[in-house]
Amino acid sequence: MSETPSKTSPLLVAVAWVIVSLPLGWGLYQSVMKSKPLFSGVTAPAAQPASAVVPGK
Amino acid sequence: MFSFLDRENTVAPPGFNRWLVPPAAIAVQMCIGEIYSFSVFNLPLSRAIGISKSVPDQDWTVPSIVLWTYSLGLVILGFSAAVFGKWVEIQGPRKTMVASACCFCGGLVIASLGVNLHQLWLVAVGYGLVGGIGLGLGYIAPVSTLVKWFPDRPGMATGMAIMGFGSGALVGGPLAIVLMDHFKSATSVGVKEAFLVMAGLYFVMMNFAAFIVRVPAPGWKPAGFVAPVQPQELVTTANVTVDVAWKTPQFWLLWMVLCMNVTAGIGVLAQASPMAQDMFGVSAAVAGGFVGLLSIFNMGGRFLWSSFSDIIGRKGVFCVYFLLGCALYLTIPYAQKVNNVVLFVAVACVIISMYGGGFATTPAYLRDLFGTMQVGAIHGRVITAWSMAAVLGPQLVTNISAYQKAHGVPKEQAYNTTLYLMAGVLLIGLVCNLLVRPVDEKYHYKAAT
């Protein structure tokens, strides 16, 4: 008796990955946008020593 | 009628592409991982009656909201995973994912009703209790399924699944904010409507995952995969049942390993924003950006560190977490002393990546020690360590720093004692990890002949 292997459609696999990647990508983009102030506005309360480097530079 | 949900009806046919399973696992984890972003609801919920501002004695307080939603949800997650783990293994991932969707999304609907009636107990029952059961079911089913599909790369497999949970905050937080902004009005803060829409979206996503998920046929192996002839010391080819596993020293050593790793990481994660503001004087907006960056590293670390464990072994990667983590915790007070914010941010990002990595590597470690047969159920019981750490870590950081401040320690240095303590916690984890040995053969499962 031989059983014919039922191949999974590559399209189905691609669609499944797109369905999870879209919200994931959107969430990642939102987090990157949220973290932008970190790279543009780091300030210390007192005078900063020379060793304090501003991120993003 | 619902026989299509049964495990035997989800066995993959020959030729099934196993790469269809990771999206299913990630989808479920991404939905339930929304709990990590629950803090976005705290302020609006505390103004549910006053709308523009909180009304004393009528509106809920933020601590009571956190306790009865976020904290209760995480505690029930642990109990649910421990209690239902065996059921999950018997019934299979599809039925479990559907049950998880019903509980998690049903919980959101009940919580929405609770907000509408302004009854905190109803919100607790919905989000904390019913939703928490859904969290536990949804957390372990995808992990144990993926481990069985990727015997050649178990670390990468668990990394993909657990990365999905980490991504839940990245998606759930912004989504909740968009929905609340859309629905808020003169009479509503928009939370109850946001809960309902999220329940609908997550229900569709989780059932899509349940629809495509499959379990491998008994004895299935990936094409070209040959089990190592020279077995690795800690990787067993035998199986241990969940009822026996928790009686072994290895189970409790791993429980401690996870608990110590999570306690140290979650303490920083929960206090990241005030820590950055107090220690380095950055603005609230910058501290918010720091938290966003940590979320990305928390997610990425789950996949990368766990995949790395396929190369250096589970014990080796946990040694890295504990030794490097200890050194990095001791670096933070130095970064504060020289006022180097960049060093602080870099150190915190690596620490949080290893915190996430610990979650993702644990199920692969369990699989190595106890086999795949009931790894989901065993994982479910180990997760109670997370519930314990979720309480322990933030409490340690918050209370010790508050005590220091109250006793005149400058706020920039108020976290130093806690950071030294966290380094010690990681050393305890290191000792437990070094004590892990292969499970004695007397515990191995022997099929009835």
Using CB atoms, pick whichever of A39, A41, A49 lies closest to residue B339. Answer: A49
CA distance A2 to chain B (A): 11
CA distance A21 to chain B (A): 9
Long-range contacts of B282-286 (CB under 8 A, 24+ apart): B282/A41, B282/A42, B282/A43, B282/A44, B282/B341, B283/A37, B283/A41, B283/A43, B285/A37, B285/A41, B286/A37, B286/A38, B286/A41, B286/A42, B286/A43
Mean pLDDT along residues A30-56: 57
In chain B, DSSP finds a helix count (H) and a strand count (E) of 18, 0
If pLDDT is split at 50, 70 and 90, which confidence band does A5 have?
Answer: low
B445 burial via Cβ count (<10 Å: 0-12, 13-18, 19+)? middle
B256 burial via Cβ count (<10 Å: 0-12, 13-18, 19+)? middle
Read off φ and ψ for residue B354, nearest 5 degrees: -75, -30
> What does the alpha-carbon distance between residue B323 and residue B309 come to, in Å, rounded to a whole number?
15
B8 burial via Cβ count (<10 Å: 0-12, 13-18, 19+)? exposed
Among A1-10, B228-237, B397-406, top mean pLDDT goes to B397-406
Write b or e for each residue in B336-347: b if 16 or more Cβ atoms lie within 10 A of its Cβ, otherwise e: beebbbbbbbeb
Write b or e for each residue in B108-135: b if 16 or more Cβ atoms lie within 10 A of its Cβ, otherwise e: bbbbbbbbbeeebebbbbbbbbbbbbbb
Q: How many CA atoms lie within 13 A of B276 on its CB side?
A: 30
Residue written as token pair 């976005």: B40
Residue written as token pair 């039922």: A6
B78 burial via Cβ count (<10 Å: 0-12, 13-18, 19+)? buried
B441 burial via Cβ count (<10 Å: 0-12, 13-18, 19+)? exposed
CA triple B380-B244-B361, angle to 5 deg: 40
Predicted ipTM beyond 0.90? no
Residue written as token pair 């912004």: B174
The string of pLDDT tens digits covering residues B15-69 is 899 999 999 999 999 999 999 888 889 889 999 999 988 898 899 988 888 788 8
The answer, for A50 touching chain B at a CB cutoff of 8 Å, is no
Tokens representing residue B209 in the block: 């995952």
If pLDDT is split at 50, 70 and 90, which confidence band does A54 have?
Answer: very low
* Cβ pair B26:A32 closer than 8 A: no
Predicted structure pTM score: 0.87
B369 contacts B362 by C-beta, under 8 angstroms: no
- The per-residue pLDDT for B123 is 95
The string of pLDDT tens digits covering residues B337-393 is 998 888 999 999 999 999 999 999 999 999 999 998 889 899 999 999 988 887 777
Residue B215 β-bridge partners? B11
Tally of CB atoms within 10 A around B395: 13
Using CB atoms, pick whichever of A31, A44, A53 lies closest to residue B296. Answer: A31
Q: Which of B31, B198, B220, B282 is the best residue to mutate to test the A interface, defined by the most A CB atoms within 10 Å of its own CB?
A: B282
- The per-residue pLDDT for B96 is 96
Least confident of B29-43, B104-118, B242-256: B29-43
The string of pLDDT tens digits covering residues B190-207 is 999 999 999 999 999 999
* Cβ pair B170:A20 closer than 8 A: no
CA distance B252 to chain A (A): 35
If pLDDT is split at 50, 70 and 90, which confidence band does B448 have?
Answer: low
Residue B11 β-bridge partners? B215
DSSP conformation class of B13: P
